[in-house]
Amino acid sequence: MSEVTAAWKINVFRDKSFYTPFNMICGVILIAGGLVTLLRFTGGLASVTNLDNNYPWGIWIGFDLLAGVALAAGGYVTSAAVYIFGMKRFHSAVRPAILTGFLGYALVVVALHYDVGRPWRLPYPFIMQQGTTSVLFEVAACVALYLTVLFIEFSPAAMEWLGLRRARRIVVKLTMILTIFGVILSTLHQSSLGALFLIAPSKLHPLWYSNYLPVYFFITSIIAGLSMVIFESAMSHRYLGHKMDDTHKKEAEGVTLGFGKAAAFVLFGYFSIKVMGIAAGNHWNLLATNYGIWYLVELLGFVGLPCYLYAVGVRDKNIKLIKWTSALTVLGIVLNRFNICLIAFNWYLPSDQKYFPHWMEIVISVFLVTVGVIIFRFIVTRMPVLYEHPDYEAH
């Protein structure tokens, strides 16, 4: 074993104080989440949720699934940029993006077990009754396949950590095939999530309902992926900077500027087609209503404003502004999914029949996000994600 490798392993396994504010807060969230989980799977959905016949999909679908899948899109966006379009200057962002995507999709599958009344029957459509004409079946199949693709794409980092040279060499040769397959699967299921709401034209408010919902969902997934890469990079540099090598630190500014520029262009295109959607449906009069004002808040405050801020940040090379804008854009994606799935859904019902999540539903969502952050931190502090393994730098 070389001295460099020995030093690397010592640095990886160096223990720190366990009683840190981060660990204590996470510990409280994990205990609360564990208790609510126990109650959910012993007492049923009614014991922990405010779901009913009008709102069978609540925050676990709106946030954990619809928003979660969109925010996990950084994996296919970054892989496509580097391996398909040849933007090698963004290569340092690939592994963190793939890891974030993999954990995001994995937690989406876990969240589904909370939301489905009989989670043990999740595999039934694949085994008992192949409902291949269902959009939901297509989403499930693509998510399952893409989760597998993400696992294989990230596996070289784990193999370097475990010293599995031959297995790593085989997987690396499959990089281009996996990337193309991942992009195809992502295009299918990201758009199909929007297609799920095409069957509810009478339930979804006309400002949010459109025949182009699948296109909107796919485009916003690209925006979410670009913004999440910037946001994740900012958080990693702040809290895990000691795990980064010089290459990652030098390329960080280029990644932020490049992805910020791409996000500005995509946001501009998305803003344009949303306005054209209002014109096509002749819904201008609805903008003067309460729901219309809320729609303008989403469109102007979380699409138009981030587009402008990204453009200004890239023009002035203002890295701090781009990072803050990425957080605003991520929040806008979550708001968009909430609007479609919850707020603008059943918009005609009186306020006393509207859905508001039970506090235990919120606890579970926070619990799952916390689990994802802990696992991400655990992997990043042990495996070569934010740096190159010294034994594989030449490869």
The pLDDT value given to residue 6:
52
The sign one gets for the Cα dihedral 130, 131, 133, 136 is: negative
Mean of the pLDDT values across residues 207-213?
Answer: 94
pLDDT band at 246 (very low <50, low <70, confident <90, very high): confident
Q: Where are the domains of the chain?
A: 23-380
Name the residue among 102, 30, 114 with its Cα closest to residue 64: 114
pLDDT band at 388 (very low <50, low <70, confident <90, very high): confident
Does pLDDT of 15 surpass 70? no
- For the ranges 60-74, 112-126, 176-190, 225-239, the lowest mean pLDDT is seen at 112-126
The torsion defined by the Cα of 109, 106, 270 and 343, in degrees rounded to 10, comes to: 40
The pLDDT value given to residue 18:
72
Token pair 């290459």: residue: 247
Name the residue among 208, 196, 216, 215 with its Cα closest to residue 295: 208
d(CA 138, CA 193): 10
CA angle 198, 142, 332 (to 5 degrees): 55
Give residue 287's region: left, alpha or beta (phi > 0; psi -120 to 50). Answer: alpha
Single pTM value for the model: 0.91
Question: Based on C-alpha coordinates, what's the Rg of the chain?
Answer: 22
CA 145 from chain centre, in angstroms, equals 16
The pLDDT value given to residue 12:
46
How do residues 315-348 score in pLDDT, each as one tens digit?
Answer: 999 999 999 999 999 999 999 999 999 999 999 9
Pick the CATH number of 23-380 from 3.40.50.150, 2.60.40.10, 3.20.20.70, 1.20.1630.10: 1.20.1630.10
Whether 69 contacts 104, CB under 8 Å: yes
d(CA 395, CA 389): 10
Whether 366 contacts 140, CB under 8 Å: no
Does pLDDT of 7 surpass 90? no
Cβ count within 10 A of residue 288: 9
Does pLDDT of 257 surpass 60? yes
Average pLDDT taken over every residue of the chain: 90
The pLDDT value given to residue 191:
94
Token pair 């049923």: residue: 44
Name the residue among 256, 243, 370, 270 with its Cα closest to residue 324: 256
Crossing angle of helices 165-173 and 175-195, in 10° steps, is 60
The pLDDT value given to residue 111:
94
Percent pLDDT > 70 in the chain is 94
Mean of the pLDDT values across residues 360-372?
Answer: 96
Cβ count within 10 A of residue 148: 16
